[in-house]
Amino acid sequence: MLDALIPWYTTHARDLPWRAEDRTPWGVLVSEIMLQQTPVARVEPVWHAWVRRWPEPADLAKEEPGEAIRAWGRLGYPRRALRLHGAARAIVDEHDGRVPSSYEELIELPGIGDYTAAAVASFAFGHRHPVLDTNVRRVLARAVSGRRYPPNATTAAERRLAEELLPYDDAPTWSVAIMELGALVCTARAPRCRDCPLTETCAWRLAGSPEHDGPPRRGQAWAGTDRQVRGRLMAVLRDADGPVGKERLDAVWADGVQRERALDGLVADGLVEPLAQGYYRLPSGPA
């Protein structure tokens, strides 16, 4: 796999700012949080604006959490903005403002899980860690295990396989190359097997590209869900210059029960701060 994958990546890799020679560990960390469940095309302009405004963790740590949410805009899943803000403060308080280089220190940062810790340790610092995102798991499921899709949740067997395949020489390039293959060629719905550098050895293709035989894979609904209501409520609060009266929030959704449930969830998640006399704002306290 290595001999075929690396040359393909050298030719086809996208020119992304968090892969540039002048990338910073903070820029890599920001990109990894933003890219979770969000396409590159939506992330790139927000990433540029973010790192211009807050080029170092200390710059973000000085701000109120609400400013991170406001700058997050419409990327979705705004709790990720709070995670980045909390990580920035921890980096300042515990690491003298420098993003730690080891997986063990990274995973201790608030809101940073196994994938993000491994990705930052690998892509920002060149360490050898298996980086298992959705794209990588799908490529390994097809090319090695002969299945159309990986399990819904990452398994110990997948981790062992990724570790076994990870080269000792330039592991980060291998990781980003297999990730790119999954994003551009070995896609979920319409894999372009003819363009794949692994097509001659892919276990799934050689088995006749069998259909998925596991639990049904359903996309996430949006219209009419609490997520949509939360998004509308957050849009009002992001666009406001100050606290917002309840009547403005009530106007965004007709179903009062669903609207109140969504608002209560935002408050519980720390994304919205209730004030006296029925006003609300983005959070001003610790993330």
Given a cut of 90, whether residue 204 has pLDDT beyond it is yes
Over residues 143-165, the mean pLDDT reads 94
User: Mean pLDDT in the chain?
Assistant: 95
Q: What is the DSSP letter of 254?
A: S
CA 49/CA 55 separation, integer angstroms: 10
E strand segments, the chain:
244-245, 273-274, 279-281
Q: Which residues contact residue 128 at a Cβ distance below 8 angstroms, ignoring those fewer than 6 apart?
A: 122, 166, 168, 171, 172
Kindly report the length of the chain: 287
Nearest to 211 by CA among 134, 150, 149, 143: 149
Catalytic one among 32, 67, 158, 180? 32
Mean pLDDT of 12-25: 96
Distances (CA, A) of 269 to 110, 217, 256, 282: 14, 27, 20, 12
Question: With the C-alpha atoms ordered 57, 78, 73, 154, is the resulting torsion angle positive or negative?
Answer: positive
pLDDT tens-digit profile of 217-274? 666 677 889 999 999 999 999 999 999 999 999 999 999 999 999 999 999 999 999 9
pLDDT, tens digit, for every residue of 21-32? 999 999 999 999
Burial class of residue 66, CB neighbours in 10 A (0-12, 13-18, 19+): buried
pLDDT attached to residue 216: 73
Phi, psi of 275 (to 5 degrees): -120, 180
Confidence of residue 213 (pLDDT cuts 50, 70, 90): confident
pLDDT of 219 reads 66
Sheet of 273-274, strands arranged across = 244-245, 279-281, 273-274
Domains by residue range for the chain, with CATH: 24-123 (1.10.340.30), 226-281 (1.10.10)
pLDDT reported for residue 214 = 78
247 is annotated as an active-site residue: no
| Strands 244-245 vs 273-274: parallel, antiparallel or unpaired | unpaired
If one counts every other C-beta atom within 10 angstroms of the C-beta of residue 126, the result is: 12
Across 158-187, average pLDDT: 96
Task: Give residue-wise pLDDT tens across range 181-197.
Answer: 999 999 999 999 999 99
Non-local (6+) Cβ contacts of 225 within 8 A are none
Give me the pLDDT at residue 26, please: 98
